[in-house]
Structure 1
């Protein structure tokens, strides 16, 4: 894709979050070597390296498909993160500049470890999420990319309150169209 143009690759990739396979990584720099061609210095989002050295991989090993987003469980709440449309955005990957929150305002810097869990689709079971908000240890907890539970047994979808969740979900009438998708999400947790 980059045809040995290291400047072009560097402009598009440096400072972004992409994946190697399905594992999310942060690209801190792009260089070129005689032996390997264009290589990227990457840092694993799940387990940040204490010394900050990272590791080098070939640019061809990067998965440049957009990373999956949705709810991020962070601190005492969760926030719905989406890509925002941008004109003349020539960079690949995700960064703070091309992301936005729906509903509650989130955080200034992207929390890499928590974002990693979102990209990988790792969420608590709905019963665990309900327990965290019922004991008031958390204000709102996501149990999937698109659904979360909050205080007062509220059910949220993509940053909007759409019903309640007391042992069983109850969608407001205008959001009843979400019933099948919500059931699929709950059934997938049982497997």
Structure 2
């Protein structure tokens, strides 16, 4: 999980866990790390349950409408900035330097904001798709569907709440489509 907007404090929100031999390292969103030596499968499943609950809480508390409206507004302002820069380069010779500097900074700032908003929207959509197909992923058919898509993943080929950040939105969307066809 890359961000959280639910009721819990960030020190309690699990970002991911990594298994190294018999030890597990649990990372939290506030950059805290907890090591669990000689962990059991029950502990791993309990952590997955907590992560799944936190993901559901985050998605329920996030309203995408302000993000999409802000992205649309920022895109319109960016287009206006670039358009006015082009128009003023042609018409007004004395204001060229101020318009150029203002347009360059405005373009960089707005492009950065648009990309951040787009990333948040994709992250929430990806996790919504994951939550929608969570039950199917637990079945043998679901695991086969993920394996058949043959993603080159460093950590794991299993799509679960811990490895969700390793998959892109388009990959999760592909798995979702494949599982809906199987159903």
TM-score (norm 2): 0.25
Rg bigger for which structure?
A: 2
TM-score (norm 1): 0.24
Q: Which structure has more strand as a fraction of its residues?
A: 1
Greater relative contact order (Cα < 8 A, sep 6+): 2
